[in-house]
Amino acid sequence: MSSWIRFKFGKKIYFGQVDDASSITVYDGDMFSNPKKTDQVFTYDEVEILNPCCPSKFIALWNNYQTLAAEKGLNKPNNPLYLNKAISSIIQPGKHIVRPKSYNESIFYEGELGIVIGKKSKDIDHVQAKKNIFGYTCINDVTAMDIVKKDSSFDQWTRSKSFDTFGIFGPCIATDIDPMNLQVQSRLNGNIVQNYNTSDMFFNVYEIVSFLSKDMTLIPGDIIACGTNAGLGPMSSGDIIDVKIDNIGTIVNRNE
């Protein structure tokens, strides 16, 4: 397993592999295509950790977990159901979630596994999808939940998930891990509110990538949020929400 991160030192942005709890080895070139190891090493306390990649798309699945579907009275869909989050919603790890000035109702956390695409993908099957995934990351798919049903003629999922600061992922991209058996935990002010396994998905990560590649070309660095499970809920002002996934890490943000 390898963990890849992006970070800033001074005015320059770097990427590299996490060596241990305190050091990062810098690589040159393209993270997704034969990166070259250098002799340069930084410690965590001297750098600013950034999102591990810069996606061209941030896709989010809906109704992809059996437990939450049963809780909501939903059935397994015929195919993965998805929407897009605006790229402008993305914030760096540790930054605050900011309530939109135009919205004063519930803001929900949604802890999720994120897929990071590693190779250009179009019309691929499940076998190729496995080869084209670079790795996995933690996601908090923040949602202004009360907007979704505001207009009876149209569910506003994209709008509800695309406000500035509502797209959180990181702290790294973990490669060579088994995505079929990962434990996802969300903690609200230190209390566990979500605790589920990715084995509960309706559509696994390879099926998701294969299906999406038939609708659109997926580009290296693109992010796919695999959907959330039971326990998602509202955050109050001042709440601290963290999302932790086995073998990947933890993202922590404060809801302002």
pLDDT of residue 89: 98
Decide: 31 and 53 in contact? Cβ < 8 Å.
Answer: yes
Domain range enclosing 39: 1-49
Residue 168 and residue 85 in one domain? yes
Residue 117 and residue 242 in one domain? yes
Decide: 107 and 142 in contact? Cβ < 8 Å.
Answer: yes
* Alpha carbon distance 39, 37 (integer Å): 7
N-terminal to C-terminal alpha carbon distance within the chain: 35
pLDDT of residue 77: 98
The CA–CA distances, whole Å, from 202 to 96, 116, 189, 199, 224 equal 32, 19, 30, 9, 15
- 206, 209, 210, 211 alpha-carbon torsion, rounded to 10°: 120
Q: pTM for this one?
A: 0.97
Is 198 exposed, middle or buried, given 0-12, 13-18 or 19+ CB atoms closer than 10 A?
A: buried
Residue 36 and residue 73 in one domain? no
Question: What's the domain count of the chain?
Answer: 2
Residue 191 and residue 89 in one domain? yes
Residue 122 and residue 186 in one domain? yes
Residue 87 and residue 43 in one domain? no
* Gyration radius (Cα) of the chain, Å: 18
Residue 99 and residue 28 in one domain? no
- Which CATH number characterizes residue 125's domain? 3.90.850.10
Residue 90 and residue 1 in one domain? no
pLDDT of residue 186: 98
pLDDT of residue 19: 87
pLDDT (tens place) for every residue of the chain, 256 residues total: 899 999 999 999 999 999 877 899 999 999 999 999 999 999 999 999 999 999 999 999 999 999 999 999 999 999 999 999 999 999 998 999 999 999 999 999 999 999 999 999 999 999 999 999 999 999 999 999 999 999 999 999 999 999 999 999 999 999 999 999 999 999 999 999 999 999 999 999 999 999 999 999 999 999 999 999 999 999 999 999 999 999 999 999 999 9
Is 98 exposed, middle or buried, given 0-12, 13-18 or 19+ CB atoms closer than 10 A?
A: middle
Residue 192 and residue 121 in one domain? yes
3-state helix, strand, coil in the chain (%, to 5): 15, 45, 40
Residue 108 and residue 224 in one domain? yes
β-pairing verdict for 183-188 and 191-197: antiparallel
* Alpha carbon distance 20, 31 (integer Å): 19
Decide: 254 and 150 in contact? Cβ < 8 Å.
Answer: no
Three-state SS at 112: strand
Decide: 177 and 136 in contact? Cβ < 8 Å.
Answer: yes
Residue 85 and residue 42 in one domain? no
CA angle 175, 85, 140 (to 5 degrees): 55
pLDDT of residue 183: 98
Q: What is the DSSP string of 138-188?
A: EEEE-B-GGGTTSBTTB--HHHHH-STT-EEEEEEEEES--TTS-EEEEEE
Residue 170 and residue 229 in one domain? yes
